[in-house]
Amino acid sequence: MKAVGVVVEYNPFHNGHLYHIQKAKELTDADIVVAVMSGPFLQRGEPALVSKWCRAEMALENGIDLIVELPYSFATQHAAVFAKGAVDILQGLGCDYLCFGSESGDINEFSHTFLQLQEKQDEENLLVKELLKNGMSYPKAKSLAMQELTSLENDAGLNLSMPNNILGYEYYKAVHTNHYPIEVCTVARMKADYHDKIFTSDTIASATSIRRALLKEEGSLKTVESFLPPASFYLLQKYKEAYLSYHTWENYWSYLKFRLLQSTAKELSTIYEMEEGIEYRFLKYVKEASSFHDYIRFLKTKRYTWTRLQRICVHILTNTKKEEMAAQSQPAYIRLLGTTANGRYYLKEKKKQFALPIISKLSSFDKEKIALDIRASQIYSLGVPAAVQERLLTMDYLQPPIMK
């Protein structure tokens, strides 16, 4: 059986994601689609709208055959580490292809840019350092350095200012620098841009605009129904009924505030991504902010992006230390979230060839190795009203992989 891998967050699963799956199968003629999906906290430093189990079920209802969790130590990282962790897992699962969405839609642009930048690695590093010295944020410095070095040959090339192109480049780079036998392809994003906050089509919308519509005051699922496959619409509805709320940063503001108020600057300095004395800024503004949004607005500087500050807040919330993340530089396991019948057949056929152990039941695995994921999931459960927290709090132990 041939498998095509996708790296996803499905926050939530919408029609654009469905199109991506269909095109991935069409381009590769694969028998199954394997998804590596972020868990409770996401790459931009946000809690997922609904639990990983709900999002996994959406995926299985809409064409994914096998879905596994991207561990916290990769899911909450900048693009290069996020991509490397996801690609390592797809390799560990024996995927033949990797298909990602991009603004480019042309894999030759990624190939050409990769070859260009491989020859200019030292120049890129120096340029990034110079831009950082001028107070620029790392993502912006990295993007500008890559753009400048690839534009020197005077061709159109890959636009590395676009978020999905940047992430796609990191997938391509992770596959080729590790010499993995995975064929890489890309699908052009349809109509809606990644950061779109308003609807620009009748059936295709960005996850950002869907979340925005759902979360605004008196937001109704009916306003986003046309952008979602029926199963996603139904599962979002059932989640809200069961847990009374979707998960947003504001739901965690009091917990974050508590963590900050009972921490010293020295204690905060041990938190992952807390660098250059910014812990003092975190402590300075916590008493002034009346909401999470206000707090990030106070914290934001030219050097520290909104996304990076949110990621640091996630690590404060989960009490994730620098040494803890350093110890998890590559995946040590594959956490199974769900499969279809085709996915189970693939596991049976290929399991002995997998490079990493598959976890389908927590009781059968070393708890120390997965402790960070469990802690993140349990803290995530605090984002719904206390009366309905218990099921989410214990779900990692009680919920078996979803079978479709």
Query: Is residue 47 scored above 60 in pLDDT?
Result: yes
What local confidence, expressed as pLDDT, does residue 153 receive? 52
67 beta partners: 35, 338
Q: What is the mean pLDDT of the chain?
A: 90
Q: Is the peptide bond before 12 cis (omega within 30 degrees of 0)?
A: yes
Q: Which helix (H) or strand (E) covers residue 79, if one does?
A: helix 79-92
What local confidence, expressed as pLDDT, does residue 112 receive? 87
Choice between 189 and 379, residue whose per-residue pLDDT is larger = 379
Domains of the chain, with CATH numbers? 3-103+186-247+330-403 (3.40.50.620), 119-160 (no CATH), 249-326 (no CATH)
Name the residue among 88, 93, 67 with its Cα closest to residue 77. 88
Q: CA-to-CA distance for 307 and 377, rounded, in angstroms?
A: 20
Query: Is residue 194 scored above 50 in pLDDT?
Result: no
Span of 33-47, 104-118, 162-176 with lowest mean pLDDT: 104-118
pLDDT confidence bin for 202, thresholds 50/70/90: low
Give pLDDT tens digits for 331-357.
Answer: 999 999 999 999 999 999 998 889 899
Residue type at 127 in one-letter notation: L
What local confidence, expressed as pLDDT, does residue 156 receive? 54
pLDDT confidence bin for 154, thresholds 50/70/90: very low
Q: CB neighbours of 126 closer than 8 A, spacing ≥ 6?
A: none
Work out the average pLDDT over 225-241. 95
Give pLDDT tens digits for 262-321.
Answer: 999 999 999 999 988 999 999 999 999 999 999 999 999 888 889 999 999 999 999 999
pLDDT confidence bin for 191, thresholds 50/70/90: low
What local confidence, expressed as pLDDT, does residue 218 receive? 57
Is the alpha carbon torsion for 31, 36, 37, 39 positive or negative? positive
Query: Is residue 139 scored above 70 in pLDDT?
Result: no
Contact between 100 and 189 under an 8 Å Cβ cutoff? The reply is: no
What local confidence, expressed as pLDDT, does residue 151 receive? 65
Query: Is residue 247 scored above 80 in pLDDT?
Result: yes
Helix or strand or coil: residue 57? Answer: helix
What local confidence, expressed as pLDDT, does residue 355 receive? 83
What percent of the chain has a predicted confidence (pLDDT) above 70?
94
Contact between 229 and 53 under an 8 Å Cβ cutoff? The reply is: no
Is the alpha carbon torsion for 143, 148, 151, 152 positive or negative? negative
Work out the average pLDDT over 89-95. 96
What local confidence, expressed as pLDDT, does residue 192 receive? 46
